[in-house]
Structures are given as structure tokens and as C-alpha cells.
Structure 1
């Protein structure tokens, strides 16, 4: 999809930086009834994929993913309202791709480790123990990125 405001387009490295610095974003899926569904999730971007985790249950999000693996993930950071000029300073990334439930145990562990390293870097050791004790109760979702765009206004 082509960006309308090309003057605000960020290069890929800046877009990846937004993903690496952000703690959460909105994962958008499509339901069986073709209704859109957006859910806030924390995540880790690594090696061209985005990892998420969730409870090992078939709720609305997982049901949607099983039905249609096309997803969009949106992140916004460095937001600063500019009330006097009726504007907003921001950085955003919109990522399109295919998502799946990770079945391979090694990749599942890789995804969970990426999440621990990003979201709890001061607790790596206890995070690894947590992974060992609770990984079987967790789904790891892997979004393979097919397209990403970054946009910013300074």
C-alpha cells in the first residue's frame, strides 16, 4: 500500500528502530465473519519477524489467526501533542504479514527469549527459568513480515 504523505516516510532502519524501542502495538486480525479485530500486545522484533505470546487457548484472536493468517501490526511512539498548532509529533510503524502459531520447540523458545530480552532485560536468568516452567502453557505467535512502513513528524 502506498503512503500518501511521502514527506513523512521513514527509511527501513528508522522503522525497525521504532519496533525495537516500542513496548506494545495493536495486532489486527480478521474474524470468521470478516469483522476486524485489534488487540494490544507486547512483542519483540527479531530477524525480520515479530514474536508475540499469549495464553494457550482458542480465544477470538487465535481463532481469527487460524481462520485467516493475514495480519497488520501498528506501533506508535514518541507521541507529543501540539495543541497550539492542532498537530501531533510522532513516529509510527505499520507492518503487514502472515502470522502462525509456532510449533517448533526451539523456535518457540527463541521467540520467548526475544520477548524476555526486550521486555525484561534486567531479569534474563529468572526469565529463562520462567520459560522452562511455563512454555507449555503459552502460544508463541510468529508474524513473518511481508511489508513495513514507517512514518514520522518531528
Structure 2
């Protein structure tokens, strides 16, 4: 029997979110803005037509692009201007999201999140996106197994 207090034994597939909202790399910024009307996430995984994880888009990038002419002193303004000319999400996405596999453990996931200062890790199997793990997922799991939730 697995001791749920031993976080090295808790596998990511036990607590990850499997119901995903994704963006396709060929979607336009307008497509993503429509998606934002229904889903209020800060970060969205980007997949290709084979459902392979190829990047990530966050609301900060979208805001920089939408308000490029209004935000003075934006860091990397040239980079943002170039991204704003992109025809699809592939041109604005971050290309190296942090990933785990389903058999990774909770301790490793928490270490990655703290080390890289991210709120989400993407779970892949054979390059295909199968889940997402958030800090909230980890906190809720720890809280629940300690009998506090």
C-alpha cells in the first residue's frame, strides 16, 4: 500500500487535471480571445494537429500584443512588435513549456514549480499532452491527505 504522506510515491496521474482547454498552433489571436470569454485561465497549452505539446501562451503575452502602442517602456518592445505581426499562435507562443510524465512524482513536480517559478506543469506521454498539473492541484492534494480538507 502506498503511503500518501510519502510524496515521492504519489504519481502525477493521480492528481493531474485531464480535462484540458488547449489552443492549436494554427489558431489566430482572435480565436484565443474568443476562448478567453469562456475560460479564465492565465496560461494555455498549445498543441499541433497531432495533439503534441508544442508551446504555451499566457495572458501577459496577449496583453502586450494588444496594448503594444499604449504600453510605454515595455521590455523587449521590438520582440513584442514582431510577435504582434504573427498570423497565428505559433508565432507568439513560448516554445519550451516545462513537462512531466504521468509517472513523475509529486515531490519532483513541486520542486520544478518552485525552482522555475511556474504555476503549471504540462503532462505528456509520447509527446502528446495528457494533462496539466497546477500548484493548486498539489496544495489541495496535500491538504486533503493530511485530513485538513
Question: Normalised by the size of structure 2, how large is the TM-score?
Answer: 0.26
Question: Normalised by the size of structure 1, how large is the TM-score?
Answer: 0.26
